[in-house]
Amino acid sequence: MNRVKTGIKGLDELIEGGFPDGRSILVSGGCGTGKTIFCMEYIYRGAKEMNEPGVYVTLDERPDLIREDVLRFGWDLKKLEDQNMIQLIDGSIAKLGMPSEEEFSLPVTGFDVDKLLLEVMRVIKRIGAKRVVIDSIPALGFNFENENDVRKAILKLSYMLMRSGVTSILTSEVQEGTGKFGKYGVEEYVVDGVIVLHYMGVGTQSNRILHVRKMRATKHSEDLHPLDITETGIRVQKIEDELGE
């Protein structure tokens, strides 16, 4: 099976070299666990180091703030956007019924999965994207009466991304201690992989933890791995390295 290297330090060796090509991965976690940084690094490393264009759909945070925040890691998104290696699609303002100043954005009216997919497919085709991030599923604001309808909507999203030939990450927010892997409790059954990010407080210290809960067609680590946010991005540690220190 072909593998897509994430470029995130320490992660690829835990999942046989990378994500299965053309699959969808769920990255879930609570507030402050590093989901946005994780996803943006996946897009940035792909474009910068592997010549794989990427699309980042932001439904929570404004693109200009994301560009500003990741400069602390030395990631110049604007330069790669000008080269058509990365494109950000703004869905954060559309939810408020306001027009976006971004080149790529979701329509102000009729915000739904189909219109999201239409814009994403258009941008994928325009830049020849190989990677896509949708951040986040809860921000889509599904107004369905039952979980089966939510499941079908997420399945459609995952299926259409797979059909387009991209390897995608979908994010979902969960509260620590609930035992869930997504807000709706169905996301983990639709996707091909699940990576859970935890923020654990022990005494006066707080630590971030990464757990590969599921990865189809992959022999993956089942351990809980310490995750550090460094000056250059994310670093996932092996358990033995942590114990050795």
Specify the higher pLDDT residue, 60 or 178. Answer: 60
Which domains occur in the chain, in start order? 3-244 (3.40.50.300)
What is the pLDDT, as a whole number, of residue 128?
98
Between 106-110, 114-118, 125-129, 233-237, the lowest mean confidence (pLDDT) is in 106-110
Which pairing describes strands 54-58 and 233-236: parallel, antiparallel, or unpaired? unpaired
pLDDT digits (tens, 9 = 90+) for 189-206: 899 999 999 987 665 566
Taking 60 as the threshold, does the pLDDT of residue 243 lie above it?
no
**Is 207 within 8 Å of 39 (Cβ atoms)?**
no
Between 2-6, 63-67, 241-245, the lowest mean confidence (pLDDT) is in 241-245
pLDDT digits (tens, 9 = 90+) for 206-231: 689 999 999 999 999 999 999 999 99
What is the model's pTM?
0.94
Which residue shows structure tokens 């490393």? 45
**Is 130 within 8 Å of 46 (Cβ atoms)?**
yes
Cross-strand bridge partners of residue 3:
20
Please state the rounded mean pLDDT for residues 126-143.
Answer: 90
Provide the residue type at 6 as one letter. Answer: T
d(CA 13, CA 86): 25
Please state the rounded mean pLDDT for residues 168-192.
Answer: 85
- Supply 178's token pair: 């609930």
